[in-house]
Structure formats: C-alpha cells, structure tokens
Copies of this chain bind each other. A is one copy, B any other.
Amino acid sequence: MNNLLKGKKGIIFGALDENSIAWKVALKAKEQGAEFILSNAPVALRLGKINELAEACSTEVIPADATSIEDLEALFDKAMSKYGQLDFVLHSIGMSPNVRKNKAYTELNYDWFLKTLDISALSFHKVLQVAYQKDALKEWSSVVALTYIAAQRTFPGYNDMAEAKATLESIARSFGYHYGTKKKVRVNTISQSPTMTTAGSGVKGFDVFYDYADKLSPLGNASSDSCADFTIALFSDLTRMVTMQNLFHDGGFSSIGMTEAFMTE
C-alpha cells in the first residue's frame, strides 16, 4: 500500500455490513495507515456486523445517534481523548421513513419528511458543529459525506431523499466556508453511482434503476470499492485545496445525455 493516510486519525460513520461503502472505506483507510473509530446508530449496530469490522481494523465501535448532539459530543470526546485532534471524518448516513413506508412523493408524511432531513442531512451539520465547537479537527483535515445525483435531477423512486441530499450538499458548501476560513478544514460530498448496499437495494425498483445507470455510464456504475478508493484520495494530502465541492464518482453518468447503447437497442 501507499501509506497515504499514515498517522492520520478519524471517525467513520455508517458501516453496517460488508456491502456498506463505509465498510470498504474503513478497510482501505486501515491499509493506508490510518487509525479511526467506527460509529453507527445503536439500532444499526444490532442489525449489522460492525464488530467484525472493528476487529479487522483493530479498533473499537462507539455507538452514536448522529441526530443527537449529546451522542456526538460523547463520541468526539472519546475520539479526542484517544487520538487528539482528528484528520478525517466520513459521513455515510441516510434514511427516509417515507421511502421505508412506501409513501408516494405526492402523499408525504411531513413529520417523516422532517425526520428524513434530520437523519440524512442535519446529522452532517451536527457532526461538523460539534467538531467545530470542540476544535476537534486539525488544519487541513478532510470531511466527506456521501450523496447522490438525485440532488440535481429527479429519480422518482428516490422520493424525499432528493431533498435530503440537496440539503446535505448545501451544508457541505456552507460549513466548508466557515470551517475552511477558520481552520483550513475542507468539506466535500461524493456523488456516488447507485450502489448495491444493504440499504440501497431495499428501495423499490432498485434493480431496474441500477441497470439503467450502469448502461448509461461509459465506465459502468462505480463500485463501493472504487468509491472507497476515491474517499481515500479525498482524505489524503493530495487533495488539500479541494473544498465545498460535490464530486461525481459515477463512471461518467452525470455527463451523459444519451448513449449509443440506448439508441441502437
């Protein structure tokens, strides 16, 4: 390996099982020399196998509900008492009760809509605000959240997660300004291809959708492994001046209008 993250410390949110992008990021960050704490919601911990991952990475899991300031404060306190200031954070958190319960976009439950926003977007602001107030991040550290192109274009099945991702990307820009100006911390989002995670594949019609994107992308859909590689690049010192950006990691999908594969079938 390349020691790209040698000596770097961080927190990785959102690893559930071996299909999670955060799971792959953890493995690759470890390979590149990083140390980190794994975190996920208490309920996710019961359902997933994150302890296996912790073992493989010689680290520990600290549960935290990312919508709870108290949980996040406790998490950052523990991380800082272990590592001092941190170098990177991954936010891979998203959930929509409206999607789960199959509410149509034209029949949304608004308490759930606010919950979608709180869990999937405001949680990112909370992570950043807690880190900012605790001065938990070193200069030039890197914060990354995962997003999807539904923030720019409509994919009906994505439902109110479209708004959550639009909010998330806006938070990356807004907080990126404040944290960059004050501490040279960079904040970006990776807009990833549809990915066969345990969460993703639960969405109705996900297969058709996955195949459509795969066919439309010149390089095919980006895998969770390659997404983890790209995340490593963003955590490394090679990308210190990239901030407040939404970076498409999608095999070219976002720049495609139509392909010959569609025209000739």
Binding site for B on A (CB under 8 A): 2-4, 69, 105-108, 110, 113-114, 117-118, 121-122, 125-126, 129, 132-133, 149-157, 160, 162-163, 166-167, 169-171, 173-181, 184, 186, 193, 205, 208-209, 212-213, 218-219, 222-223, 226-227, 229-230, 232-233, 236-245, 247-252, 254-263
A257: chain B residues at CB < 8 Å are: 149-150, 152-155
- How many copies of the chain does the oligomer comprise? 4
A247: chain B residues at CB < 8 Å are: 242, 245, 247
Report the Cα distance A21→B76, complex, angstroms. Answer: 39
Contact of A118 among B114, B121, B151 (CB under 8 A): B114
Chain B residue with Cβ nearest A228 = B238
Contact of A173 among B162, B169, B251 (CB under 8 A): B162
Tell me how far the C-beta of A22 lies from the nearest C-beta in chain B, rounded to whole angstroms: 17
B219 engages A230 (CB within 8 Å): no
* With known contacts A3-B2, A105-B175, A263-B212, A239–B229 Cβ distance under 8 A: yes
Tell me how far the C-beta of A146 lies from the nearest C-beta in chain B, rounded to whole angstroms: 14
Report the Cα distance A252→B219, complex, angstroms. Answer: 26
A173: chain B residues at CB < 8 Å are: 153-154, 162, 255
A263: chain B residues at CB < 8 Å are: 156-157, 205, 208-209, 212
A218: chain B residues at CB < 8 Å are: 176-177, 180-181, 243-244
Tell me how far the C-beta of A121 lies from the nearest C-beta in chain B, rounded to whole angstroms: 8
